[in-house]
Amino acid sequence: MSEYSKDPFSNYIINRYPTSFFVNAELDVLYMVGELDTILSLPSSLANFNLEKMLESSQVSFFREAIAKAFKEDKIFRYSNVVFKNERKSAFVDMTFEKVDIASIQNGVIECRVFFNEVRPFKLGVNVKETEDLSVISADERIAMLETELAKYKVSLRKLQKDQKMRVDEINAQNREMMTNNEELQSTNEELQSVNEELHTVNSELQYKNKELTIANNDINNLLKSTDIGTIFLDKDLRIRRFTPAIKRQFDLIKADEGRLISAFANQFNEEKIEDSCEEVLQTEKPVRKLIKNLDGEEFMMRISPYRTSDKRVEGVVITFVDLSRTKSMLQEFDESIQQTAHRLNAIYENSRNPLLFISPSYIVTDANRKWGKTSKQELIGTKLTQLVDEEYQHLLTAKLDVLFGDYEPQMINVKIDQGKANYQLILIPIQDTKNESRVGSACVIALENTKQVAYLESLERTKETYMSFMENAQHQMVLLDKNGIIININNTRNSPYTRDELIGTVIYDQLPPSEVKQYKSNIEKIFKGGSQSKISFKYVGVDQIEVEATVIASPVLVGDQIAYVALVGNPI
């Protein structure tokens, strides 16, 4: 019953009339059931069915009259052996017309019930008489009807065969499509396996990132707990998101207060409208700094900054309170330390015996602690450093200063001033620029006088030259040895197959016959132990392969109070 409850026509005819249809006064067909294509034309192009388009004109008149009677007299009308014809067949039917009331349809409805007596084919052009006596139809007419039916069935059979072939082709195509889909599914399965492996990898990475996030969160929590700066985070509605324990000096907050409006809490700054400053920051997106005092007179630096997300959106504000009372105390201690350091440096600067100069990046002397050479302190200030040295050193000093100010590296150079009357070693020290740490803002020049040292070195150089000249022009064979018997110098190598440069730096004992080495070495060691000069005789084979007997006098050579070398003086050359 529930299956037909929404269809009033089906509810009306179910299990009563196998073939019938419902029409209204305008001949619109509202509902049909059963085999009605014998008496009605059912073209597929019609959207709305109407008997005027489904019957011939004579038959339309019959229906119009019958329907009008049924509406007018409100009773059942029956018609027997009504003849219907179309291009293929004729039919004899009994029809009943009855007015029915269906609540869901406002206009009246007529039900037409149809009972088929006989259906027979006929040839085109043959006039079949309408009669109730079917025996008058001849055998030829019956044969023609049967042939027509047979032709119809053949056409239907061919159509069925064609449809069947089309269905088989469709099934084959569907089968091929299913095989393709199966291959695609297999490929998809492989892709899913690959994706699953990637998911495992991503899961491992997520676990690692989660661990990193946990560590970062722990770091943030520990940072917030350990900082002495009172900090509070507010959202756009000025509700508390997070705060550091140090904020309790300004607001009496507990963990349960997160999510509440900051305006609901009293603070230690009665005269300061913190909420107004927060609104200003949210509107302008610019930080606000204010110096404020609490009820105890302590000074704090309040900074309100925009709370920005990773995509640069402002989602609230961050308020920090820096206790300036502690900072002032630290600054005072720091200032005292700086002053002590400054006093010490100034004492060194003022009382140093060596000239100390300060120069600018253009090499101009900006300050000096005393005169330098014959130039007074007042004359030094404002003069270019390179102009204070002798002309022959100006180019070298300029090169050193270029490196000093360009590469930030200390330099050192020896110069002469006052027309060569004084020698100085200049130590050039770079000083960092206070506004730009990557630049040299100035330099300190320490002038160390080394006139005596230079004179001493020059005298040593002259002594060396005298010694070398003496060695080269001496008429005797001369050799200078150290404690290990290494030849420091030799003036002649006539009796040796080696050159002078080849012998210097070698051990003299390697040049002697093995039988002579022990006695020779013993005599040399005695002199290094404090013995006086001694005469040493030994034999050796010369360059002409003739054995030669040589005699040398070994004498100590003192450097200071110590025996540094042994000099061997042999026969005249």
Per-residue confidence (pLDDT) for residue 398, from 0 to 100: 92
What φ, ψ does residue 364 adopt, rounded to 5°? -85, 135
Listed range (66-80, 167-181, 241-255) with the worst mean pLDDT: 241-255
Give the pLDDT mean for 182-206: 87
> H/E element holding 526?
helix 514-528
More confident position, 472 or 396:
396
Say which residue the tokens 């900054």 belong to.
305
> Per DSSP, which regions of 203-298 are E strands?
230-235, 240-243, 288-293
Per-residue confidence (pLDDT) for residue 384, from 0 to 100: 92
Query: Which residue ranges form the domains of the chain, and what is each CATH number?
Result: 2-137 (3.30.450.20), 227-328 (3.30.450.20), 353-455 (3.30.450.20), 474-572 (3.30.450.20)
Q: How confident is the model at residue 134 (pLDDT cuts 50, 70, 90)?
A: very low
Listed range (81-90, 151-160, 208-217) with the worst mean pLDDT: 81-90
Provide the token pair at 204.
Answer: 């491992």
Mean pLDDT of the chain: 79
Per-residue confidence (pLDDT) for residue 299, from 0 to 100: 79
Say which residue the tokens 């509107």 belong to.
283
Best CA proximity match to 316, nearest among 237, 382, 253: 237
Per-residue confidence (pLDDT) for residue 79, from 0 to 100: 85
Going from the C-alpha of 142 to that of each of 121, 125, 155, the distances in angstroms are 8, 15, 20
Provide the token pair at 91.
Answer: 């039919």
Q: Does 364 score more than 90 pLDDT? A: yes
358, 445 contact by CB (below 8 A): yes
Per-residue confidence (pLDDT) for residue 91, from 0 to 100: 74
Give the pLDDT mean for 418-436: 86
Cα dihedral sign for 486, 490, 494, 498?
positive
Residue 170: helix, strand or coil by DSSP? helix
**62-120 confidence digits (pLDDT tens):** 888 888 888 888 888 888 877 777 666 677 778 888 888 877 776 678 777 777 665 44
364, 384 contact by CB (below 8 A): yes
Q: Does 141 score more than 60 pLDDT? A: no
CA–CA gap between residue 187 and residue 193 (Å, rounded): 10
Q: pTM of this prediction?
A: 0.35
Percent of the chain's residues with pLDDT above 90? 4
